[in-house]
């Protein structure tokens, strides 16, 4: 959601084992090349050994790696669309999977064959894409697709930002069925839907704006769901057209990443930021602007203390990143 974020990796020491300082994991990152176009790069988490995977003319963002580590999904702008593309893990043999519409945030099923994603219908400028969205399921081999939810009660509302559980039995998503967007978990067909991260307050009183939840993502062990929570950025100057830096600052200060039990009830605030994800060994990442550096700053907590991870060069835009699964090519 933010153009130039800071990414902070937090070990949730009360729930998860600590990172080892000598273990360097790998990531696939979307960041701008020398020409300012978003490309995908594979590298170590300290930025070493960066290899460019794509040569797109329009840009590649939102990378998602299949659980078997062999395939790479990403979003690429087309003519009046955001298309879903698939390639091998090295960026080769790329082909379009879905070309029509506004397709965002693909998530793999554990079979490394099927995906779910959100298709947002075109709205007015400044409209939240999640406010008019549906979820779809696609077979990446055959290209066959269908609506994910079949329950009539589910499809009456906007459902967006899906994340499939590690066992493939459930999906986390956000929905406006009760008003502001909240994180829900259901079976893949939409049945047995339940709220998992109840907010402390429905509104931010100082701004008189609703508190929303977005971008849910499952932990590798399936026990936790990380998500963003705050006042949606569509209320900020770039989207409203009304310049108000003070108000923008107040809105950005509401952005936080939370982790909730996938069964509901227990939750805790991780810290300021957005765009959460999980490393393969179970550590939460979060992102937020870093004006001083002029680009993302990555910090990882290890048993030896914190260290910076330079996965995106300074002064460039980015489009999210994904962790490479363990012990894969």
DSSP, residue by residue, 203-245:
EETTTTEE-EEEEEEE-TTSSEEEEEEES-GGGSHHHHS---H
| Average predicted confidence (pLDDT) for the chain | 87
Burial 214-234 (b: 16+ CB within 10 A, else e): bbbbbbbeeebbbbbbbbbbb
Does the pLDDT value for residue 9 go beyond 70?
no
Select from 164, 163, 168, 292 the least CA-distant residue to 228.
163
- Tell me what pLDDT residue 296 has: 66
- Tell me what pLDDT residue 270 has: 87
Q: pLDDT digit string (tens) for 196-240?
A: 999 988 999 999 999 999 999 999 999 999 999 999 989 999 888
Higher confidence at residue 1 or residue 163? 163
- Tell me what pLDDT residue 67 has: 96
Higher confidence at residue 290 or residue 177? 177
DSSP, residue by residue, 195-212:
E-S--S-SEETTTTEE-E
Of the candidate CATH numbers 3.40.50.720, 1.10.287.470, 2.120.10.30, 3.40.718.10, the domain formed by 5-323 belongs to 2.120.10.30
Q: pLDDT digit string (tens) for 172-198?
A: 999 998 889 999 999 998 889 999 999
pTM of the prediction? 0.89
- What is the residue whose two structure tokens read 């979820």? 135
Average pLDDT over residues 167-171: 97
Q: pLDDT digit string (tens) for 17-64?
A: 444 545 788 999 999 999 999 999 999 988 899 999 999 999 999 999
Provide the residue ranges of all domains of the chain, joining segments of one domain with +: 5-323
Distances (CA, A) of 56 to 38, 41, 77, 104, 115: 8, 12, 10, 17, 23
């Amino acid at each position: 959601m933010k153009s130039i974020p800071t990414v902070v990796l937090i070990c949730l020491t009360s729930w998860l084992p600590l990172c080892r300082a000598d273990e360097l994991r790998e990531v696939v990152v979307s960041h701008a090349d020398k020409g300012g176009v978003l490309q995908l790069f594979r590298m170590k988490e300290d930025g070493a050994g960066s290899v460019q995977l794509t040569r797109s003319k329009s840009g590649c963002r939102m990378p998602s790696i299949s659980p078997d580590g062999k395939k790479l999904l990403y979003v690429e702008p087309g003519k009046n669309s955001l298309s879903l593309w698939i390639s091998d893990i090295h960026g080769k043999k790329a082909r379009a999977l879905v070309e029509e519409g506004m397709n965002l945030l693909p998530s793999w099923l554990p079979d490394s064959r099927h995906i779910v994603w959100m298709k947002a219908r075109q709205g007015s400028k400044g409209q939240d894409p999640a406010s008019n969205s549906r979820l779809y399921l696609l077979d990446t081999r055959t290209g066959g697709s269908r609506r994910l939810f079949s329950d009539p009660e589910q499809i009456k509302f906007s459902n967006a930002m899906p994340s499939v559980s590690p066992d493939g039995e459930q999906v986390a998503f956000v929905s406006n069925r009760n008003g502001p967007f909240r994180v829900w978990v259901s079976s893949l067909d939409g049945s047995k839907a339940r709220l998992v991260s109840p907010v402390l307050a429905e509104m931010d009183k100082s701004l008189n704006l609703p508190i929303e939840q977005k971008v849910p993502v499952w932990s590798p062990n399936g026990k936790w769901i990380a998500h963003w929570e705050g006042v949606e950025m569509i209320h900020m100057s770039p989207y409203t057209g009304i310049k108000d830096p003070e108000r923008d600052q107040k809105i950005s200060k509401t952005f936080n990443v939370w982790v909730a039990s996938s069964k509901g009830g227990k939750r805790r605030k991780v810290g300021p930021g957005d765009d959460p994800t999980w490393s393969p060994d179970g550590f939460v990442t979060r992102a937020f602007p870093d004006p001083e550096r002029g680009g993302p700053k990555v910090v990882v907590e290890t048993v030896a203390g914190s260290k910076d991870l330079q996965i995106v060069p300074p002064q460039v835009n980015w489009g999210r990143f994904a962790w490479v699964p363990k012990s894969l090519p």
